[in-house]
Amino acid sequence: MKYALFLSFFCLAGTLLFEQSTNADPDREEWIALFNGKDLSGWDIKIADRNLNDNYLNTFQVEQGMLRIVYDEYENFDDKYGHMYYHQPFSHYKLRFDYRFLGDQTPGGEAWNVRNSGIMVHSQSAQSNTFEQHFPVSVEVQLLGGLGDGKKRTTANLCSPGTAVERFGEIDYSHCIDSNSKTYEGDQWVSVEVIVMGDEYIAHLIDNDTVLRYEHPQIGGAFISKALNGSDWDSMGVTNKAEWIAKEGQRLSEGFIAVQAESHPIDFKNMELLNLCGCTDPKATNYKSYFVKSDNKMCVYDSQVNSFE
């Protein structure tokens, strides 16, 4: 018992000393690697009609440092819409990653899901999804690839399962809103950054260029379209729709990040997050000048560190 207490004491002291040494420069950005490149630690999986953390037919895989969504073991997609959720919610942050589409769509996938996937932000948790649910209530950064037909197909668009946003001062209930990006053909890597500012605004960037921005993400009164009078919730397997409909207009100030599996193979790499919420007291050792949201419960001071020396 004494050894365990000593070890806990040592670990805490070491953590504080580490924070003191690594946060000496308040302007240096501390990006967090969400994916360790080795395994799926820190993530929860929820696939429609499967139990929590059932990685059905090895849909989510790790290979050569990449997170891969693959369907090698599938004979038919069979509406097995899946998402993998990072275990910690965030409110104000920057998220960046690279993605590429590969190969052909899985048999049984919808025509609109060819070279189609996404990253969900401000999402409900994996645990709160209903058993049959296809998509979490969230804001989706929709990722699309060109179809080689010469037609424009933008990426880093917005889709809104169970949500809505404001644009130009008005609520926009459109299920999907196109960005102004160019079309990315083939299997090339595309670099995306998402800036999430709580319930104030969200911006999508490609190669440091803002391609879409919207304000006040909120729970909407429909899953896909208000014109369907709520039937879209049922068709997407949301069996607790009354709970969500009652929350219409509630702004989304934080939530989980989820990677989507939507029937077309896709790879992700370099998935990192810069938390913009933290200690904003310049006297603290872990103060950062770029924090835009205060959480001064996290502040660490010299006296705290020295007390362990």
**What pLDDT digit, counting tens, does each position of 100-122 carry?**
999 999 999 999 999 999 999 99
The answer, yes or no, to whether residue 172 has pLDDT greater than 70, is yes
Tell me how far apart the alpha carbons of residues 125 and 118 are, in angstroms, rounded to a whole number. 16
Q: Specify the pLDDT at position 228.
A: 83
Rounded mean pLDDT, 17-23: 43
CATH of 31-275, picked from 3.40.640.10, 1.20.1260.10, 3.30.1180.20, 2.60.120.560, is 2.60.120.560
Q: Which two tokens stand for residue 109?
A: 């996938």
**At 232, is the secondary structure helix, strand, or coil?**
helix
Q: Specify the pLDDT at position 101.
A: 98
Rounded mean pLDDT, 235-255: 96
**What pLDDT digit, counting tens, does each position of 77-102 carry?**
999 999 999 999 999 999 999 999 99
Rg of the chain over Cα atoms, rounded to whole angstroms, equals 21
Tell me how far apart the alpha carbons of residues 216 and 218 are, in angstroms, rounded to a whole number. 6
Rounded mean pLDDT, 243-263: 97
Q: Specify the pLDDT at position 309.
A: 44
The answer, yes or no, to whether residue 206 has pLDDT greater than 60, is yes
- Higher model confidence: residue 230 or residue 122? 122
- Per the rule left: phi > 0, alpha: psi between -120 and 50, beta: everything else, 173 is alpha
Checking DSSP bridges between strand 190-197 and strand 201-206, what pairing results, if any? antiparallel
Q: Are 202 and 92 in contact (CB under 8 A)?
A: no
Confidence of residue 36 (pLDDT cuts 50, 70, 90): very high
Percent of the chain with pLDDT over 70: 91
Mean pLDDT (the chain) is 91
Q: Which of 52, 54, 48 is nearest to 260 (CA)?
A: 48
Confidence of residue 304 (pLDDT cuts 50, 70, 90): low
Q: Are 267 and 67 in contact (CB under 8 A)?
A: yes
Q: Specify the pLDDT at position 293.
A: 97
Q: Which of 142, 181, 143, 178 is nearest to 161 (CA)?
A: 142
Q: Which two tokens stand for residue 17?
A: 């000393």
Rounded mean pLDDT, 202-214: 97
Q: Which two tokens stand for residue 91?
A: 């409110």
